[in-house]
Amino acid sequence: MSGAIQSLSRAAAILRLLAGGERRLGLSEVATGLGLAKGTAHGILRTLQQEGFVEQDPDSGKYQLGAELLRLGQSYLDVHELRARALVWADDLARAAGETVYLGVLHQRGVLVVHHVFRPDDSRQVLEVGSMQPLHATALGKVLLAYDPVARGELGDGPWEAFTPRTVTEPAALDAQCALVRERGWADAVEETWEGVASVAALIQDRRRNPVGAVCVSGPVETVCEGGAVRPSLVASVRTAARAISRDLGAHRF
Amino acid sequence: MTASYIAAIDQGTTSSRCILFGADGRIVAVEQQEHAQIFPQPGWVEHDAAEIWTRVQAVVRGALEKAGLTREDIRAVGITNQRETTVLWDRHTGEPVHHAIVWQDTRTEALCRELGRNVGQDRFRRETGLPLASYFAGPKIRWLLDNVEGLRERAEAGDILFGTMDTWVIWNLTGGVDGGRHVTDVTNASRTLLMNLHTLEWDERIAESIGVPMAVLPEIRSSAEVYGEAVGVLAGVPVAAALGDQQAALFGQTCFDVGEAKSTYGTGTFLLLNTGERIVNSYHGLLTTVGYRIGDRPPVYALEGSIAVTGSLVQWLRDQLGIISTAAEIETLAGTVEDNGGAYFVPAFSGLFAPYWRSDARGVITGLTRYVTKGHLARAVLEATAWQTREVVDAMQKDSGVTLTALKVDGGMTSNNLLMQNIADVLDVPVERPYVAETTALGAAYAAGLAVGFWDGLDTLRANWHRAAEWTPRMDDATREREHRNWLKAVERTMGWIEQDDEQPQL
């Protein structure tokens, strides 16, 4: 293996050793198991321990795999799992708000709609699950940009497409809005994607507080807004729903 | 102060729940407690009815506390329940004489064959709409009378009462030994093999054939009327509805018109079609049952078809094969491919049910080539649920002459977007999901609310139903027909696997 860093290869070997068989090993067992000097093995184990990849049992002094590895393995949340967990809350939000509800996740520099609840008026509506929305011009997108560094990184430097005269197209203005989103805990987009449509969104997190998606209420400006701003009661409903979904994600294995 | 909420008690197979609803049908509070599943030997499943009653009382109290309400806020209480589960108790002490025998319990299989005599399992079908099968309550009563020491004598002396779980809950709720009402509703009674569908009364001749003394049977009432007043936590609240769980879901989905159908997708799937005032005899292996009856209005009948393996096939992939780690992942996996790659999966794990009824069949995965991936298999798994739905719907249309125009769905699997789209595609009708996943409890609440005038009629309830999602058919006819032919070929390949029916182990 050309260019391999020896200490990383050894660290990987130690993790594999701890993952198999005994699962709890003392320092000398690790050292002899891999043919390393005790001092070398100890140095690597200590570094792994500092990173949370390895834990040491305080009584026996033996080493085992750490919780951080588990977190890395589970940080990926299946979007269908997200929908299944969010179903009840999203229904309730749409009923309470009297408007359309979307759940979105980051996907290929945009927002992928993973769940859509119809506006409860039985008018003809088409399911939009699987469609994409722009990151910079929607409330869902702005929440993801504000909390997920990956999303902001993927969006790049702009300027971005203007869908309406109100679309934010410059990085400085968008970053300022994202700072406000983080401060308030919610995002809005009033006529920034479509004329006449306003939306308000809040963040969904897993138990480790990773940003996994966003939930929003979307509807005509006339019903969503009041005096040019999103109605406070809608903001409260969206944030309550986002918290409830996050709680449901954290209560289980994620 | 006016009482502005309705309580629903949902006494299910694994848990009891109390859900409080507001006037618009929205959920105000939910409380749930599980009860023990008792497995005395393979194939036997029992519940402790006394434990269930304790749980029911606890969840009612819990729901009221959660919502910050008192019994004075509750206008009426309705009951929905696991169907067919059978309990006998002493009317003087209120003590069950034996654990309740649960619907899944197969101990009466041999008895049912014996009761079929030379006619077979359709001996009582014309009167009751049901085949002689171990699910239904009548033979379970007979088993208890035969196997609990001295019980038959006590029953004939009038000391013993029978009930499905609706009856048990209502009797206890309305006072138990102190004047509890011994009643059941038409939907639950229609699952006993003892009620005549035409008269909606106990059929004395059949009761005698099965060996059930009339003295143990409750009075059959409608699904929505005041049976009595509650005592205890809900003291003074009218007990005003009872519906078996699947019928309650039909009612909660507001399938009030002929031709309206609902399908509940869970571990298994239950499809009910409203056939109005007509009793439709099935020649395709469906059950004829009472859908509901409101007060003294004419009863509304239904055809019922069940699919044994739907959600449980996804669980099988997760637990037995381990190719997914959560049920929801099936959709992710299926999403990695465009189609089934030529693979078809017929999950005839314990034979084929409606409309085939072939106990010699076993499951197959067919059409395999080197090209097929686990993604294709995931597709085939979802398509299996869709095609099985299609077969039940086709059977219903043949039996009833009614054409389905839309399918209302509920249950856990409705969160699977690809599956719902698939069902719309193969049925070639829109699939609609309403708000409120709790259609079963909602149905019981609706019936109770109607009985006390909380809601003024079916139109008000219909206005409460809102579409939360709709999947419209996208598959072209040629593809649908080709896929259907392939599915039927796959089904054919399941048959005749078990060579002699008799060699199957009897549970």
pLDDT tens track for B38-76? 889 888 899 999 999 999 999 999 999 988 999 999 999
Chain A residues with CB under 8 Å of B472 CB are 126
Q: Would the CA dihedral through A32, A37, A43, A44 be positive or negative? A: negative
Cβ within 8 Å, pair A80-B329? yes
B83 is in an annotated binding site: yes
Fold of the domain spanning A6-70 = Arc Repressor Mutant, subunit A (1.10.10)
The verdict on domain A80-248 having CATH code 3.30.450.40 is yes
Q: Quick check: B435 contacting A, CB < 8 Å?
A: yes
Q: Where in chain A are the domains? A: 6-70, 80-248
Taken in order of first residue, the domains within chain B and their CATH numbers are 5-253 (3.30.420.40)
**Nearest residue on chain B to A128, judged by CA atoms?**
B469
Q: Quick check: B473 contacting A, CB < 8 Å?
A: no
Cis upstream peptide for B355 (omega within 30°): yes
Residues B142-169 have pLDDT tens digits of 999 999 999 999 999 999 999 999 999 9
In sequence order, the β-bridge partners of residue A203 are A214
Cβ within 8 Å, pair A91-B468? yes
Question: pLDDT confidence of B503, banded at 50, 70, 90?
Answer: very low
Question: pLDDT confidence of B501, banded at 50, 70, 90?
Answer: low
B135 is in an annotated binding site: yes
C-beta separation of B182 from B169 below 8 A? no
B15-21 vs B261-265, strand pairing mode: unpaired
Render B100-119 in DSSP notation, one character per residue.
Answer: EEPTT--TTHHHHHHHHTTT
Give the C-alpha distances (Å, rounded to integers) separating B209 from A87, B203, B215, B300, B455: 49, 10, 15, 28, 43
Helix (H) or strand (E) holding B447: helix B439-451
Mean pLDDT of A200-216: 90
Cβ within 8 Å, pair B466-A91? no
C-beta separation of A55 from A67 below 8 A? yes
Q: Which of A78, A80, A105 to mutate to test the interface with B (most CBs of B within 10 A)?
A: A80
Token pair of B166, please? 């609706």
Cβ within 8 Å, pair A120-B26? no
Which residues of A lie inside 8 Å of B (Cβ-Cβ)?
78-81, 83-84, 87-88, 91-92, 94-95, 116-118, 120-122, 125-127, 129-130
Cα distance from B331 to chain A (closest Cα, Å)? 7
Give the separation between CA B372 and CA A14, rounded to whole angstroms: 38
Cα dihedral B89, B92, B94, B98 in deg (nearest 10): -30
Q: Look at B200 and A252; give whichever has higher pLDDT.
A: B200
Helix (H) or strand (E) holding B227: strand B224-229
pLDDT at B437 over 80: no
So what's the ipTM on this one?
0.78
Residues A74-89 have pLDDT tens digits of 556 788 889 988 988 9
